[in-house]
């Protein structure tokens, strides 16, 4: 803008959370290290389901197979042909399923969505959940990801999620699963 060649429309500005507060390692280290974003922004297990980095969708780690060996700097696996998308240094990331976009408002609900109390809408977010018994016929084993409804009743003080008809529950501030 200072050059006079363009003008910025600041009314279109958005908060960009990618890498926010991730530290220097996010910029300087390889993405297959925790300091480089592994587990938050990047993944390394093609079979793993998870939430996307922004918690807006349930997805799967996108590990691609290339026809030739990747350059050494972009190799994160023992197989030099495996990696992620080109525009992020071939780092694998969780890509949201088209039918598990938590913030979508035009979702056609399925029986599975109803059984496991998925919520879709502008206040939907993906969360990691513990095993759930929803009725005597349905048991979900191990941890899984679900889209749940959230709210911030007192902005900046707490976050709440709603699970089925249980009402609003506070998220513990210490990061534990709560009661």
- Which token pair is 117? 């109390």
Distance CA 2, CA 16 (A): 22
pLDDT of 157 reads 66
pLDDT of 63 reads 94
Q: Please list the pLDDT of the chain residue by residue as tens digits (179 residues).
A: 778 888 888 888 888 888 888 899 999 999 999 999 999 999 999 888 999 999 999 999 999 999 999 999 999 999 999 999 888 899 999 999 999 999 999 988 888 888 778 889 999 999 887 755 455 555 555 668 889 888 887 766 677 888 766 778 777 666 565 55
pLDDT of 108 reads 86
Residue 3: what are its φ and ψ, rounded to 5°?
-80, -15
13 half-sphere exposure, CB direction, 13 A CA radius: 5
């Amino acid at each position: 803008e200072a050059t006079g060649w363009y003008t910025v429309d600041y009314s279109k500005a958005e908060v960009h959370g990618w890498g926010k507060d991730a530290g220097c390692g996010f910029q300087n280290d390889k993405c297959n290290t925790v300091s480089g974003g592994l587990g938050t922004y990047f993944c390394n297990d093609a079979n793993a389901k998870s939430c996307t980095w922004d918690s807006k969708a349930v997805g799967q780690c996108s590990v691609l197979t290339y026809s030739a060996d990747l350059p050494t700097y972009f190799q994160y696996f023992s197989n030099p042909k495996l990696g992620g998308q080109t525009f992020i240094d071939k780092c694998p990331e969780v890509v949201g399923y088209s039918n598990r976009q938590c913030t979508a408002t035009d979702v056609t609900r399925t029986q599975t969505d109803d059984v496991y109390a998925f919520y879709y809408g502008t206040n939907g977010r993906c969360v990691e959940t513990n095993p759930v018994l929803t009725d005597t016929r349905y048991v979900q084993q191990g941890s899984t990801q679900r889209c749940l409804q959230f709210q911030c009743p007192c902005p900046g003080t707490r976050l709440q999620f709603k699970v089925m008809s249980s009402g609003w529950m506070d998220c513990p501030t210490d990061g534990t699963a709560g009661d």
